Structure 1
């Protein structure tokens, strides 16, 4: 394994850890210090509000997991995806790909922690005044930014050399 790949793996894992820490710290503050569940919704500035939502589904409330079996199935699925991505990181040859995978891993693990602890994910960032109907958290934002970076990486990805002879490319 080359040093560049090792450094990129370190970048991805450090980014994942940072997302987990920021996500869980923000949720601790929202739930325990600010006590948003008792307040419901609090306007902050402009279109930004803090609104408490317990999301039992996957991203943005899709596939609701109201039964315990579905809750643990979602936990298992997210852990499996995180493991797959953590293995993929070891082969990431580009910084943007490593960053994307790190963000997705960190976000997935952050939300798995909530789902395992509370049975639902704590969401609180509300920008519905901007016609964005979902309430989300730092983990959700990291996952979505990571997915966007994956698309950028696919578009900008390494160009494979082509030759005039198609059989040479296949070899």
Structure 2
């Protein structure tokens, strides 16, 4: 479980460092938008009070605390599941990404009341109206990794046959 803890910690630190550097260091919270490599990458400040793409967002505090509890509950469940089932290194790395990302967004909700999203990528004449952050990327990659690397594999067959 050291791999899970280490990857979760590194993911959490990278997420929080990127938010501090961009949102506060570059003053994106006040500036609202910074073109980095237009039109492909820009920073757009968005305070997300809901889940992905702002779904379930509300101005009330109830949703904030529901989402904090949900993220903590899912993180604890994933930790226990990976520990108990004895999955391989890729599954453990995926669990670390998911847990670290979820905890990064939990800290935002506790500190600011919303998740700080700022990354925006567009391409080829298609303008993406949504912003995301490092934690969102980690959660997505972790979830995909858990699906891919925890699928049941056939149990090894023994050399003996059972007789009826």
For the aligned pair, the TM-score class normalised by the smaller chain equals: 0.7 to 0.9
Q: 132, 139, 143: which one pairs with 1:143?
A: 139
Match of 2:80 in 1: 87
Match of 1:64 in 2: 57
The verdict on how the C-alpha distance between 1:60 and 1:139 changes in structure 2, with shifts beyond 3 A counting, is same
Count of matched residue pairs: 155
Q: 2, 12, 27: which one pairs with 1:20?
A: 12
Match of 2:24 in 1: 32
Q: Secondary structure at the match of 1:158?
A: coil
Q: CA deviation at 1:69?
A: 1.1
Q: CA deviation at 1:109?
A: 0.3
Q: CA deviation at 1:162?
A: 6.2
Match of 1:6 in 2: none
Q: Secondary structure at the match of 2:56?
A: coil
Q: Distance in 2 between matches of 1:133 and 1:154?
A: 33
Gaps of 5+ in 2: none
TM-score with structure 2 setting the length? 0.86
What whole-Å deviation, never above 9, does each CA across 1:66-111 have from its counterpart, x for those lacking one?
Answer: 2101111111111111111121231332111101111000000000
Counterpart check, 1:78 vs 2:71: yes
TM-score with structure 1 setting the length? 0.83
Q: Where do 4+ consecutive residues of structure 1 move more than 6 Å? A: none
The answer to whether the 8 Å contact 1:128/1:134 transfers is: no
Q: Distance in 1 between matches of 2:33 and 2:150?
A: 39
What whole-Å deviation, never above 9, does each CA across 1:29-52 have from its counterpart, x for those lacking one?
Answer: 122211001211111114000110
Q: Distance in 2 between matches of 1:142 and 1:96?
A: 14
Aligned 1:152-163 pairs, distance under 5 A:
152-155=148-151, 157-161=152-156
**Relative to total residues, which structure has the larger helix share, 1 or 2?**
1
Aligned 1:91-106 pairs, distance under 5 A:
91=84, 92-106=86-100
Gaps of 5+ in 1: 1-8
Q: Distance in 1 between matches of 2:4 and 2:52?
A: 22
